[in-house]
Amino acid sequence: MFSGITGHERPLRFLSRVIQSNRLGHAYLFSGPEGIGKATVARAMAAGLLCTDPQKSVPCGHCPGCLQFVSGNHPDFLHIAPEGASIKIDRIRSLKRQLAFAPFSGGLRIILLEEVQSLRREAGNSLLKLLEEPPPDNLFFLVASDNEPVLPTILSRCQVVSFAPLAYPLAADVIRRQNPELEHDQALKLARITEGSPGRALAIEAGEALALFARVAAALADPHLSGAAAVEEALFLAAEMAALQEELPLLFGLLKTLFKEALLLGLGKESVATGVETGIKEAGRIRERWNLSRLSDKMDAVDYAEKALAGNCNRGLVCDVLMVRLMTGCEPLRSVG
């Protein structure tokens, strides 16, 4: 069932045992950083469970269930993902109406909900009622890149399965399989700069966030940028940052990796991505320019910006405030809302 999946040996062993012993629960929450393959594992499980002629838990590939799943038309596989910034309440209400009927095939129905940390409270409470009293023959896979925003009551109704980032060489292999034109060294650099997340690496490589990140890192490391000049450069970069649209969360992730790298260097610890090009190489100079307290404050500022963006705050304003705080000695705000 999981033969095509790279890494994640521990959670895959657990899930394989659950399937082989026929002791499936009604809801699983796959937790771990974005882009490391959690949804891929959920889809692999769904494909195996919906196959009508599995060979030792491996989908046969030719039965009606397999053909429908591969084509994206299986009536008993429901996929829900955020529309914009969040999963809307109307989508959960629609799901409830669908689950009022028995599975189409007479067997198991599987529901995959991605990025459940994006659920607003109303939608989360609506989903919670489904998990508290699940209709028979329905299996939920919830995927979250951050458990903190998920309602604790939702977490308590699920078997939480933790996933870790891939080792850099393994992540590089996945990246090259998806993009064979990349050289091994390029793929490895992307794997390291995204801390073992092939999904983020491929999205960054295909977009504009990486180039802008390198410019932001260079500005942060420039000891000659201070005062009015620093604010001017901050606002210039912020305008480009806001224009990234969907890539903005990727850039925030790179910035957090940058400050983590600088903090580790300051603490004398082994770095996350020593020597990686496209910006991380600036971590040493950033560490020389800012003390540990300021570096921690700047990482907090990125966290604040992420939460503000998720809360539908004005994108341009979020980027302006973030860049001014990163480029100057301003203290970050400590809460959102």
What's the pLDDT at 330? 57
Residue 4: φ, ψ to 5°: -95, 10
9 in Cβ contact with 3 (< 8 Å): no
189 in Cβ contact with 257 (< 8 Å): no
DSSP 194: T
Distance of alpha carbon 187 from alpha carbon 232, whole angstroms:
35
Helices (H), the chain: 9-20, 38-50, 64-71, 89-99, 121-132, 152-156, 168-178, 184-193, 198-206, 209-221, 227-242, 248-266, 283-289, 292-310, 315-327
Distance of alpha carbon 114 from alpha carbon 288, whole angstroms:
40
What's the pLDDT at 280? 64
CB atoms within 10 A of CB 14: 13
Helices 227-242/248-266 angle, 10° precision: 140
Distance of alpha carbon 187 from alpha carbon 34, whole angstroms:
18
Pairing type for strands 109-113 and 138-144 reads parallel
Distance of alpha carbon 130 from alpha carbon 218, whole angstroms:
49
Query: CA-based Rg of the chain, rounded to a whole angstrom?
Result: 22
User: Structurally, what CATH architecture does the domain formed by 9-162 represent?
Assistant: 3-Layer(aba) Sandwich (3.40)
Distance of alpha carbon 286 from alpha carbon 283, whole angstroms:
5
What's the pLDDT at 115? 93
What's the pLDDT at 270? 54
What's the pLDDT at 193? 84
Question: What is residue 226's three-state secondary structure?
Answer: coil
Distance of alpha carbon 106 from alpha carbon 137, whole angstroms:
9
Q: What is the mean pLDDT of each run of 10 residues along the chain (337 residues)?
A: 85 92 92 93 92 80 88 92 86 93 90 93 92 92 92 94 93 92 87 88 85 91 88 92 86 89 78 46 84 90 89 87 86 46
Question: What is residue 189's three-state secondary structure?
Answer: helix
Is the pTM higher than 0.85? no
